[in-house]
Amino acid sequence: MAVILTIAGSDSVGGAGVEADIKAITSMGGHAAVALTAVTAQNTSRLREIFPLPPEQVTAQITAVVEDACIFAVKTGMLHSPRTVRAVASLLGELKAPLVVDPVLFAGVGASLHKEGLAESLAKDLFPLATVVTPNREEAETLSGMKITDDVSLEEAGNRLLDLGPRSVLLKGGHLEGNAARDLLFTREGILEMASPRLDRKVHGAGCTLSSFIATGLGLGMDPAEAAREAKRRIYDSIAMALPVGKGLLVINPMATLFKEAMRSRAMEEVRSAVEAIERRLPPELVPEVGMNLAFALPYPQGYREICGVQGRLVRVGDGIRRAGEIRFGGSRHMARALMAATAADPGVRCVMNLRFSEETVKRLESFGLEMGSFDRTNEPDSVSSMEWGTGEAIKDIGHVPDVIYDRGGTGKEPMVRVLGRDPQDVLGKIAGLMM
């Protein structure tokens, strides 16, 4: 059991601080030990008060933990005062464990969480001990003494922070502009960029959760780059599946990836059941020349490995339909591309299947009361995925994800009908009138 020590403040609404840290560490299989630095009275809208603990009490907690348990990694969050930083640093300097420093200066609701001189003390006393430092844009500007306005200043600020002594600096991109959330990991060897789609939401507790994921990864034996990549994957889920706890910011959900992983078996069974129904009841003339597939994604999929389908597709065999391979995650890249585009526009749309195109099939589906969308492959740009581009074009034309997206093909491209829905049963329900 990897014991991860978090040294941070408490958040009364349970979205940030040690409350978020404990959930993040636990979700990765670690055990969270805690040294509390302050109690805050805050919610998802505002910070009311801070009640800091004396540095002697903070170090007493750390001493009690380390004299009893083997610490695999340490994470520091809100330390509030220079005195607490110096007291904590004096102990951590003797503890030979990876250290992640989240230089918390401001709450997610915008209020200050530090006393004067904290930034200077963090840089002087704690950064030289750190394996990874994880500032957001505002913290990086304060600590580096410069404004971040573009990629050039971003790189300069990251290198300035690296010069303060940590082994690496992860400059978080959630507060930067652009369609992608870009995080940059600065090391002596160079810069590693990690990007994910930007989610249109603000959450409470993202910084605490990310740094805890990294610390746990380090405690489990990952190097800083591996730990940062895994944390990036998990923080995307945590933000995407954030919780509406109060009236203000959404609250981060550090357990999101764990919940998604628990859905895998059920998702495979839902696909299996739908495939068996297709094999029994769908007329084989509806199978396209390229084969048929049904793809079902976990919530907010981050790639093919989170989309379940039939490896080798469903094919026509005589007067019937049979699957040509196993049902597994990553088994349907062809339809997964279309599904990724659809779920990006509407996270509730997580399933798609394809049918052979005919004007009669399109008319019948329309007669069922389904909303139809289409795209023209003659307008398709070079070097794009037809499935992804075409799905996106149809959605853009309508303004939302329709029930059906079809195209009439193009040079070397078979025309196709795609039926979209919430899950396999929803998709099968939409084509029930085509079933035997």
Residue 109 has pLDDT above 80, yes or no: no
Q: Which of 210, 244, 261 is the last residue of a domain?
A: 261
Task: Verify that 269 and 147 share a domain, yes or no.
Answer: no
Q: Which of 261, 278, 302 is the last residue of a domain?
A: 261
Mean pLDDT, rounded, for 376-399: 89
Task: Verify that 63 and 162 share a domain, yes or no.
Answer: yes
pLDDT the model gives residue 295: 97
CATH number for position 122: 3.40.1190.20
Task: Verify that 50 and 176 share a domain, yes or no.
Answer: yes
Write out pLDDT tens, residues 119-159: 999 999 999 999 999 999 999 999 999 999 888 998 999 99
Task: Verify that 268 and 232 share a domain, yes or no.
Answer: no
Q: Are 78 and 112 within 8 A, CB to CB?
A: no
Q: What letter represents residue 381's amino acid?
A: P
Task: Verify that 182 and 276 share a domain, yes or no.
Answer: no
Task: Verify that 183 and 310 share a domain, yes or no.
Answer: no
Task: Verify that 60 and 143 share a domain, yes or no.
Answer: yes
Write out pLDDT tens, residues 335-370: 999 999 999 999 999 999 999 999 999 999 999 999
Tell which wins on pLDDT, 379 or 291.
291
Task: Verify that 224 and 367 share a domain, yes or no.
Answer: no
Q: How many domains does the chain have?
A: 2
Q: Which of 226, 261, 296 is the last residue of a domain?
A: 261
Structural domain including 59 reads 3-261
What number of other Cβ atoms are within 10 A of residue 285's Cβ? 11
Task: Verify that 176 and 271 share a domain, yes or no.
Answer: no
Tell which wins on pLDDT, 296 or 80.
296
Q: Which residues of 54-77 are buried (b: 16+ CB within 10 A; e: fewer)?
A: ebeebbebbeebbeeeebbbbbbb
pLDDT the model gives residue 334: 86
Contacts of 314 by beta carbon, 8 Å cutoff, 6+ apart:
275, 278, 279, 287, 291, 292, 293, 294, 321, 322, 323, 324
Task: Verify that 272 and 238 share a domain, yes or no.
Answer: no
Mean pLDDT, rounded, for 11-36: 97
CATH number for position 303: 3.40.225.10
Task: Verify that 324 and 362 share a domain, yes or no.
Answer: yes
Task: Verify that 270 and 374 share a domain, yes or no.
Answer: yes
